Amino acid sequence: MEIVQTPKKTVFLFEGFSSYIVVPTDGRKHTKDPDPTWYGESIGWYEGDTLVVDTIGFNGRAWVDTGSGHPQTEAARVTERFTRRDVGHMDIDITIDDPKAYTKPFTVRVNHHLMVDQEMIEFICNENERSTDHIKK
């Protein structure tokens, strides 16, 4: 993941699937009825040195995690808090509130380490791909 910041937005670039998420940080609110998408609709703001990203508007076809298959419904709200612990480390606290899938909100922490002098590489895994048949339906 690479993070690009401008005065009005933060962009998260992901090597996997060449995907990205744009998070406006210009003070806007969520739209009243966002079009459901895989990544949802995100808005962000700062609380001190912490970037808070609030996301709603999911399509209900994704998972909370990529490997274990814990569900995420269209009712989900995900709040991420990005805090630089020091120059080389970032803690991300992710709170998932999805009343259709879980009895109460829960939070997980992910720790990221800065990779100096690294570039993202192309990720292609599409030719004859069979593991996405469930998405095509």
Domain residue spans of the chain? 2-136
Contact 115, 1 (CB under 8 A): no
In sequence order, what DSSP letters do the residues of 5-61 get, joined into one string?
E-SSEEEEEETGGGEEEEEE-SSPPPPSSPPPBSS-EEEEEEETTEEEEEEE-B-S-
pTM to 2 decimals?
Answer: 0.87
Q: Note the pLDDT tens digit of each residue in 78-137.
A: 999 999 999 999 999 999 999 999 999 999 999 999 988 888 887 766 665 555 555 554
Query: What pLDDT, in 10s, does the model give residues 8-56?
Result: 999 999 887 778 999 999 999 999 999 999 999 999 999 999 999 999 9
Q: Which residue has the tokens 């459901």?
A: 36
Q: What is the DSSP letter of 133?
A: H
**Residue 69 vs residue 66, higher pLDDT:** 69
User: Cβ–Cβ contacts within 10 Å for residue 62, how many?
Assistant: 17
